[in-house]
């Protein structure tokens, strides 16, 4: 499998190049204690990942974009006690990574700089350019029956909203049932949960989160294949974010919210959901098992199912579906 661990020399090189100045191969090699040709190989590797680096004769290399690679030590320091953390340079999909690893009672997290086969909901592809966003999966054994998991994806959306608010996106962030996170009406994060029921009654879940951090629309290569309205933290705030810091805050919130869900169930999150529900009282079309049902979104029930008020006034609950806002 083409999974590669994070490469500390590559991370150091990017930190040196990030200042937007010229750096010659010899002095970069000296600083990193490697040869000039090893520097050249790493520059080629970054270019292969779509990162633009100019090489100017007599002056050296220059990288004009602010690239923040993940720093495994920074993230591990924050979580050493709570989870086993793996940081990868590249992998097909961080969710699939856990399908291939042995089951354990421990909580494990995997974050990658790049996914070659990132998966979205409803068989979509999740666009995963190198070094721009967060692609994170958390393997978590839960003391819960499969039937109790219906609210989990909503709880994960709330944990992302809470992280984004802490990171400075204060009033713009809302949830769209069942598990999209939007900023100013555009998708900023998505969630994909793989569940395996265990014979002893519990469930092993792999929670995958894709969070758009430093991806920009004017970077044509990065964005052209996305077919829905999207935004990123950098586009919303006008600055590039240090992705390790974002990962730390996100993981912290994620683990706290899951722990509370496991202890107290979904009911305690309903008020929080209401406060950030982007669909509330809006006319929507729900695409649900080959039929489209229109109505007015009326919040969620105790299980996290969507309540839809139909034209005849009745309210129906839906456990799954894809919602689209209708123009009034
Ligand atoms: C969606 O369609 O909204 C869900 C997107 C989930 C993407 C994340 S990125 C990390 C993890 N690995 C994957 O292959 N998918 C999820």
If you measure from the C-alpha of residue 65 to the centroid of ligand 1, how many angstroms do you get, rounded to a whole number?
25
Q: Whose CA is nearest to atom 9 of ligand 1?
A: 210
Which mutation among 98, 124, 134, 192 tests ligand 1's pocket best, with the greatest number of atoms within 8 A of CB? Answer: 192
Which mutation among 88, 113, 119, 243 tests ligand 1's pocket best, with the greatest number of atoms within 8 A of CB? Answer: 119
CA distance 135 to 115: 8
Q: Whose CA is nearest to atom 16 of ligand 1?
A: 208
Exposure string over 92-121, b if 16+ CB within 10 A, otherwise e: bbbbbbbeeeeeeeebbbbbbbbbeebbbb
pTM metric for this prediction: 0.95
Which mutation among 125, 210, 227, 321 tests ligand 1's pocket best, with the greatest number of atoms within 8 A of CB? Answer: 210
**pLDDT confidence of residue 198:** 81
Tens digit of pLDDT per residue, the chain (328 long)? 589 989 999 999 999 999 989 999 999 999 999 999 999 999 999 999 999 999 999 999 999 888 999 999 999 998 867 899 999 999 999 999 998 788 888 999 999 999 999 999 988 999 999 999 999 999 999 999 998 999 999 999 999 999 999 999 988 999 999 989 999 999 999 999 999 888 778 899 999 999 999 999 977 555 566 778 999 999 999 999 999 999 999 999 999 999 999 999 999 999 999 999 999 999 999 998 889 999 999 999 999 999 999 999 999 999 999 999 997 6
**pLDDT confidence of residue 235:** 96
Strands 283-288 and 322-325: antiparallel
What residues contact 287, with CB distance under 8 A and at least 6 apart?
321, 322, 323, 324
SS3 of the chain: helix, strand, coil, percent, to 5: 30, 30, 40
CA distance 40 to 36: 6
Identify any residues that bridge with 209 across adjacent strands, giving them in sequence order: 136, 191
Identify any residues that bridge with 176 across adjacent strands, giving them in sequence order: 180
If you measure from the C-alpha of residue 240 to the centroid of ligand 1, how many angstroms do you get, rounded to a whole number?
22
Identify any residues that bridge with 119 across adjacent strands, giving them in sequence order: 125
Q: What ligand 1 atom has the least distance to the C-alpha of 187?
A: 3
Report the side by side order of strands in the sheet with 203-211. 4-5, 84-90, 108-112, 134-142, 203-211, 186-197, 180-183, 173-176
Helices (H), the chain: 8-17, 25-32, 36-48, 72-79, 94-99, 152-166, 220-223, 233-237, 243-264, 270-275
**pLDDT confidence of residue 122:** 86
Which mutation among 135, 175, 178, 180 tests ligand 1's pocket best, with the greatest number of atoms within 8 A of CB? Answer: 135
In terms of Cα–Cα distance, which of 256, 212, 243, 3 is closest to 120?
212
Q: Are 132 and 68 in contact (CB under 8 A)?
A: no
Prior bond to 178 cis, omega within 30?
A: yes
If you measure from the C-alpha of residue 93 to the centroid of ligand 1, how many angstroms do you get, rounded to a whole number?
8
If you measure from the C-alpha of residue 210 to the centroid of ligand 1, how many angstroms do you get, rounded to a whole number?
5
In terms of Cα–Cα distance, which of 216, 244, 235 is closest to 69?
244
CA distance 240 to 253: 21
If you measure from the C-alpha of residue 95 to the centroid of ligand 1, how many angstroms do you get, rounded to a whole number?
8
Q: For CA atoms 42, 45, 47, 51, give the dihedral sign.
A: negative
If you measure from the C-alpha of residue 133 to the centroid of ligand 1, how many angstroms do you get, rounded to a whole number?
11
If you measure from the C-alpha of residue 235 to the centroid of ligand 1, how many angstroms do you get, rounded to a whole number?
20
If you measure from the C-alpha of residue 47 to the centroid of ligand 1, how many angstroms do you get, rounded to a whole number?
24
Q: Whose CA is nearest to atom 15 of ligand 1?
A: 119
Identify any residues that bridge with 325 across adjacent strands, giving them in sequence order: 284
If you measure from the C-alpha of residue 281 to the centroid of ligand 1, how many angstroms do you get, rounded to a whole number?
28
């Amino acid at each position: 499998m083409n999974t590669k661990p994070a490469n500390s020399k590559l991370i150091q090189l990017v930190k040196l190049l990030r200042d937007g100045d010229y750096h010659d191969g010899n002095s970069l090699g000296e600083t990193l204690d490697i040869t000039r040709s090893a520097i050249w190989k790493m520059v080629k590797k970054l270019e292969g990942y779509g990162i633009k680096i100019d090489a100017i004769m007599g002056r050296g290399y220059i990288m004009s974009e602010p690239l923040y690679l993940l720093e495994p030590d920074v993230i591990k320091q924050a979580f050493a006690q709570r989870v086993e953390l793996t940081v990868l340079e590249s992998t097909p999909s961080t969710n699939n990574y856990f399908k291939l690893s042995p089951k354990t009672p421990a909580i494990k997290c995997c974050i990658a700089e790049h996914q070659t086969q990132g998966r979205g909901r409803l068989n979509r592809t999740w666009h995963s350019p190198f070094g721009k966003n967060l692609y994170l999966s958390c393997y978590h054994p839960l003391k819960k029956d499969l039937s109790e998991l219906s609210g989990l994806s909503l709880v994960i959306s709330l944990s992302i909203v809470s992280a984004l608010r802490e990171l400075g996106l204060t009033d713009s962030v809302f949830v769209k049932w069942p598990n999209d996170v939007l900023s100013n009406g555009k998708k900023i994060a998505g969630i994909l949960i793989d569940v395996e029921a265990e014979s002893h009654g519990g469930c092993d879940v792999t929670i995958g989160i894709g969070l758009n951090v430093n991806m920009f629309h004017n970077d044509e290569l990065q964005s052209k294949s996305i077919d829905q309205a999207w935004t990123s933290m950098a586009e919303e705030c006008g600055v590039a974010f240090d992705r390790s810091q974002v990962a730390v805050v996100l993981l912290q919130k994620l683990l706290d919210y899951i722990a509370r869900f496991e202890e107290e169930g979904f009911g305690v999150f309903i008020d929080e959901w209401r406060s950030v529900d982007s669909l509330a009282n809006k006319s929507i079309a729900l695409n649900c098992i080959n039929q489209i049902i229109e109505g007015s979104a009326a919040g969620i029930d105790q299980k996290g199912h969507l309540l839809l008020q139909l034209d005849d006034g009745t309210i129906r609950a839906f456990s799954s579906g894809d919602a689209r806002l209708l123009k009034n």
